[in-house]
Structures are given as C-alpha cells and as structure tokens.
Chains A and B, each alone.
Chain A
Amino acid sequence: MTQRVFVTGVGVVAPTGLGIAEYWAATLAGRSGISRIDDRHVGALAGRITGFDAARHLPGRLLPQTDVSTRLALTAADWAINDAGVRPGDRDEYDMGVMTSNACGGFDFTHRQFDKLWHDGPQHVSVYESFAWFYAVTTGQVSIRHGLRGPGTALVGEQAGGLDAIGYARRAIRRGTPLVISGGVDSALGPWGRVAHLSSGTVSTTDDPGQAYLPFAAAASGHVPGEGGAILVLEGGESLDRRGDRPRYGEIAGYAATFDPAPGSGRPPGLRRAAELALEDAGVTTADVGVVFADAAGTAEFDRAEAEAVTGLFGPYGVPVTAPKAGTGRLFSGGGPLDVVTACLALREGVIPPTPHDAQVAAGHRIDLVQNAPRERNMTVALVLARGRWGFNSAIVVRG
C-alpha cells in the first residue's frame, strides 16, 4: 500500500494577498491584483505584490544575497512551516526535504550584476551572484534557514514545474522522507524581466488591467505575468499518524505529467492524458471531481486546447471550471502550487472561487466557467491543471 501524502501547511505570497487569509478573501471576492507597473504601453501590466517589506520578515543578513523572488519564497516557507506546526529542530534532520520549482531564477538580482559587470567591471560583481541567480536558490536557502537535510531538488518546467515539484515531493515521501517542503515562487518584473516576458509572444498587449488576461473569453488576448506563488508543507500519512495530527488542508491524491508530441507529428496533445493519469493515480473517476482549476493560458489556441481536454473528459459543461489566476497573472513556478492551495481551501469551505474579470466566455469552449460570484458546492475532489510553454502538461488531484 503506497503512503498517502497530505498538505499540512501553506504559505501564500500573491498579488491578491499576502498570507492565506488575505489571499482567500480576495480570491473569493474575485478581486484582481493586476495593475499598471510601468508607464509604457507594451508590457506595462503585471500581477505585482504590494506591501511586502522583506526586512520585516527576514534577517538583514539575507537581504544583500537574495533576489525578490527568493525573499518571497523564504517568507512563504516560514509561514508554511509555522502553519503546519512543525518545529524542524524536533525532528530528524534527514527526514525533512526541500523540492521546489523555479522558472526565472533570481532574474532582477542578476540584471543588476550584469550592469555591474559591464558598466563597472568584474570586480564589482557581488559574491552572492554565484547562487542568488540560479534556479536552485529557493531549495538551498529554505534548507539552510530551517536546517532541513533530507533530499532536495529544483525543477524547471515553466508554468507546469510547480505541480511537478509537488509530484516529486510526493514521490520522495513515498520513498521514505516523511516531510518535504515544496511549491514554487517566481518574480521577474524588473526592466529586463518584463521584456523577457514580452518576447514569449503570449503576453497580452491590451492596455486595460481589467481586460488584459481573460482566459477562455471571446476577447482573450494573452496573459499578464505576475509574481508570487505558494510554498507547501507535505507530509506522509504514516508520520502524521504517529504524531496524532490531522491533515489540515487536503491530500495530494494523484499526480501525472505528460509532454505534447513533437510539432507536426499529428498525434493528440497530452493535457487530457495527464488529467486521466492523475485521476487514475488517485483512484477516482471524473464523476468524483467537483471542480477543475484550469491552466487558463489566455490565448485562443491554448484555451481551445484546454477546453477540449476538459470537455473530452467531463463532457460539455460537465464540471465547474475556474481560473483564479486571472486575478494574479501567470506566476510560472508559483502558479500550480497556488492553485493547489486554492483547491484545498475550496474543498474545505465547499465553495468555488470565481474567475475574475467576468468576461464573456468564447462560444466554442462549452465549459462551465465559474464567474461573477463564488459558487457553493459540496465537493471532495479537485483537479488542478498546468501547462508549461512548449508542451509540458501536469495534473494534480487534490482530495479534501
């Protein structure tokens, strides 16, 4: 019998709220955190976190060596560990691992170091550049801050990577590490990061914060990049039983990842298969699923592909679909983990948060997109989908 894996603590850093209470209230209300962060036209919109003062949350010694993304991740990890009631010092240090995802690295930090190198010379590059930039920085810094010496890894899979990190953490727990910190947080909204996002060709060029990121809408015009994400404490059922604790949020009941066929192969895309495999892994059927948290790319082509995957599995209008991320922007490695947190809360509270902005759904999609207001529903299982640019598909089944 394979061990069950539960979410026992969460830390949320999102454009719609810092901390789980603020985030959940904003999400239920359908509020949007997308705003104009620049005076130019193109690339001016983002889901930016406001009111985060790193110095209030982290020791001063960590500030010169961390990018904003790492500061957010470290803060979210602190909150998650506290929330789970875990005191790392009381446990075997090898029994606690860290497996996170990261998509952009410490991009703004590294931009400043590139400036120093090329403007002032090599002697001006910070000693901290050697690790503040790289994709493993969250895993390493979280491990050090909390004395976690179990298995560690960092995965890059664009927007799908965050679910993969949770999937790998679950595998690590089943292989014998009782507790793994997982999730992902990204931020690349400095001058270079913003244009790097633009170069993807999938960022909306619409100028109105309320109209730019409208997944599944007739007026869908791309996405808006955001910053933030979520860090989760995952624990195996066996160690929870020993502690006599109850899981607080939900169970990571199923996980699967697939990759789309090479372009031009004529084979079907892989998102639906990822969802099917995750449901099978969880031992549930589509009839058990109360809500789908969509990847919600926000372009006509990708929205159609996702709508077809969902209707293929559940039938037309066969399951409520929601995309709270329309209010945060796409968070890359942070997107999937934040959706998992939202799914846990939706199951616990019996309510599906709406997709912000209330745009008219494109006629062809035939999905039941939850909009305008939260929808009450008794549910036990949620399906979370994520896609990464170039063909990554990941799915997680959350059981309440």
Chain B
Amino acid sequence: MSLMTLEDLKTILVENAGADDSGTLDGDFAAQEFTELGYDSLALLELAAGIQRRYGIVLPDEQVMELRTPEAVLAAVNSAAVNSAERLRQTS
C-alpha cells in the first residue's frame, strides 16, 4: 500500500503552487514532466514542503531538484515512508 497517491499529490500541488485552467492535471499526468505541466523549481520546492507538512517526510534538497515527474515524487515519498517504517520496526 502506498502512503501517497497521485490524487494526494495533485491536492498538495494545487493548494501550494496553484493550477492553470488548461487542465494539465486532469487525467493521468504521472509521467509528464513538471515543466510541461507548468510547474517550476519553486513549485517543486513548495510541493516538497507540503509533503513534509502533511506526511512528515523530508526529501533531501538535492533529491527534490532531481524529481522531474509526479511519479518520481510518488516513488520517492513512498520509498521514504517504507524506509522510515522499517527503521521504526527495527528500533522498537
């Protein structure tokens, strides 16, 4: 089970960085590059900050700048979530 879905990502993105009326976030946009969707590096940072606020997951800065598509963000967030769950299990 994954922590964050594409729909969650869309919600955070629109809330923090806004949406154009052109409908780029309709349908399956997971594989499209953020730049094609009209989002710049600041929007990506705002997305990462929103993810941190909602899920408590911190993506390292260098990693954030390398995330070019929504699906890459989802993969990074969900693997970070799995890793931290793993760590929790090991320490408890």
Contacts and interface: CB of A to CB of B under 8 A. Distances in A.
Physical contact A–B (CB less than 8 Å):
yes
A62 B53 contact: no
Given A123-B52, A124-B53, A61 B18 contact: yes
Given A123-B52, A123-B53, A124-B53, A64 B18 contact: yes
Interface in A83-118: none
A44 B90 CA distance: 59
Nearest to B44: A127
A61 B42 contact: no
B49 A60 contact: no
Interface in A56-71: 59-65
Contacts of B20: 59-61
A128 interface: yes
Interface residues on A, range: 10 to 19
A62 B38 CA distance: 11
Contacts of B15: 64
Contacts of A380: none
Contacts of A124: 49, 53
B53 A64 contact: no
B19 A60 contact: yes
Interface in B43-75: 43, 45-46, 49, 52-53
The residue in A60, A63, A127 that gathers the most chain B C-beta atoms within 10 A of its C-beta is: A127
B21 interface: yes
Interface string A358-399: 000000000000000000000000000000000000000000
Contacts of A65: 17-18, 42
A126 interface: yes
Contacts, number: 37
A268 to B, nearest CB: 51
A126 B47 CA distance: 10
Chain B interface, >50% SS class:
helix
B38 A61 contact: yes
Contacts of A126: 16, 46
B18 A123 contact: no
Interface residues on B, range: 10 to 19
Contacts of B18: 59-65
A215 B31 CA distance: 61
Contact of B21 (A59, A64, A123): A59
Chain A interface, >50% SS class:
helix
A33 B19 CA distance: 33
Interface string B26-40: 000000000000110
A64 B17 contact: yes
A122 B45 CA distance: 14
A124 B46 CA distance: 10
A64 B16 CA distance: 6
A60 B46 contact: no
Given A59-B20, A63-B18, A64-B16, A127 B45 contact: yes
B53 to A, nearest CB: 6
A386 to B, nearest CB: 35
Contact of B49 (A61, A62, A63, A123): A123
A60 B21 contact: yes
A62 B18 CA distance: 7
Nearest to A66: B18
Contacts of A62: 18
A65 B38 CA distance: 14
Contacts of A64: 15-18, 46
B88 to A, nearest CB: 21
A127 B39 CA distance: 13
Nearest to B41: A127
A346 B53 CA distance: 54
Nearest to A126: B46
Nearest to B48: A127
Top 7 A-B residue pairs of the complex, sorted by shortest distance between their CB atoms: A64-B18, A61-B18, A60-B19, A60-B18, A127-B42, A127-B46, A127-B45
Interface of A: 59-65, 123-124, 126-128
7 contacts: A60-B19, A60-B20, A64-B15, A64-B16, A64-B17, A65-B18, A126-B16
Given A123-B49, A128-B46, 13 more contacts: A61-B17, A61-B19, A61-B39, A61-B43, A62-B18, A63-B18, A64-B16, A123-B53, A124-B49, A124-B53, A126-B46, A127-B46, A128-B42
